[in-house]
Every structure is written in structure tokens, then in C-alpha cells.
Amino acid sequence: MMRKVSTLGRRQFTRFAASLPFSLGAARNAGAHGAAWTMATEYPASTVSGEGIAFFATRVAEESQGHLTVMPSYDAALGLKSAEIVAAIRDKKLDAGCAFAGALGKIDPLFLLSSLPFVAVRDSDVRRLLDKAHALYVEKFAREKQRLLYATPWPATGLWAKKPITTPADLAGLKLRTYDATGVGVFTAAGAQPVQPSR
């Protein structure tokens, strides 16, 4: 379930919408009734990313009074993984996207920040980390000719296994999936055999 997100008031939305790069993709989809964006994620509609896109699409439709429609695309239906979304937007193959930051580590190591183990343990740590890094994220996306529209805090990461993991020795040889290069590095160093499906 998605946490309550602070609402975007009409004045805030107007300032926000005025700064959006409508000419970077939305204009090619503009019609008599306004513009339409396709916004993609590799995750299902029921995940944090999927619910975030749905919320964003609803708010944009309401606040723009139908002048901008955001059409969500879930489950990598367009064939794009998180690591590919930034390039797809830059190359004007996609209008907007929601990607897990850890998968963007090849663009810039800064995007691996949020996946560092034990850096943000509590919700307040996550907020503080985002507040400190926000300007840097904005700068990195600007280099790709894009704007950071919002950030979605993900739930804490856990480890699910068929057998109890009580000591570091229990990780030896364990095959597991991880979502970014940081996880691969941490679990490889611990003796596990991680794979990263989203690249």
C-alpha cells in the first residue's frame, strides 16, 4: 500500500506545470484536447512505482483540467527496464518514466546512494537523505535534458529465504536476486551468489 503523499495544490501545480518541458515529448502527442504523455515503469501497477504513476496521472489530469493526460505503462510493457528509461526519455522514445534509482548507477554513482546498506534505516533517515541529495539528483537529470518530477520512497529492503539466515556463514553460496550493483557487491562480499535482473 502506498503511503499518503502530500497533495499538490492548484498554485503549486501551476508553478510546477509551467516549468515542465512540454516541448520535450508531450508536444509530439498534442491534439485538439491537449497533450498526452506515456509514462513507463518496469514494475506492476500494484507496486510503489506503479501506484506512484497512477497517483501522478490522476493529479495531472485533475490539475491541468484535462490539458495533459499521463498514460501509465506498467510491467515493462514497452520493453524498458529502469536502467533504460532515462535514455528512452532523452532520445524522445518515451515522455516520462519511473525508475528505481539504484538501477541508474551506470549513469552516475550518485543514484546508488539510496541503496547503500544501513544509511537510511528509518523513514526519517530516508526523508533526510532525499532532502540532502535532491539538488544533486536534479542536476544529474538536467545533464540528461530531463526534470525530476517526484521521488518515491521505497519500503525497507529485506531478505527472504527458504532457510533461516542467522549468521554471515548462512549466506555462503546462497543464490538470490538483488536490485542494483550495490546489492550485488554486498552479497558477493558476504559469499552469496547474487544476480541483478534489472539492468
Quick one: cell of 12?
503549486
For 174-186, how does the pLDDT look when each residue is reduced to its tens digit (9 = 90+)?
998 887 778 888 8
Owning domain of residue 177: 158-194
For 71-102, how does the pLDDT look when each residue is reduced to its tens digit (9 = 90+)?
999 999 999 999 999 999 999 999 999 998 88
φ, ψ of residue 180 to 5 degrees: the values are -160, 175
Please give the average per-residue pLDDT across 40-46, as a whole number. 95
Residue 170, judged by CB atoms within 10 A of its CB (0-12, 13-18, 19+), counts as: middle
Same-domain status, 131 and 53: yes
Same-domain status, 108 and 131: yes
Is the pLDDT confidence value at 11 over 50? no
Distance in angstroms (rounded) separating the CA atoms of residues 145 and 159: 36
Same-domain status, 103 and 172: no
Bridge partners of 37, per DSSP, are: 70
Note the Cα 177 to chain centre separation in Å.
18
Distance in angstroms (rounded) separating the CA atoms of residues 164 and 162: 7
Same-domain status, 49 and 119: yes
Residue 183 is predicted with a pLDDT of: 83
Same-domain status, 73 and 162: no
Q: Is residue 3 in some structural domain?
A: no
Structural domains of the chain, count: 2
Distance in angstroms (rounded) separating the CA atoms of residues 156 and 134: 20
Pair type for strands 96-97 and 35-40: parallel
Residue 55 is predicted with a pLDDT of: 95
CATH number (domain holding residue 53): 3.40.190.170
Same-domain status, 54 and 124: yes
Same-domain status, 81 and 55: yes
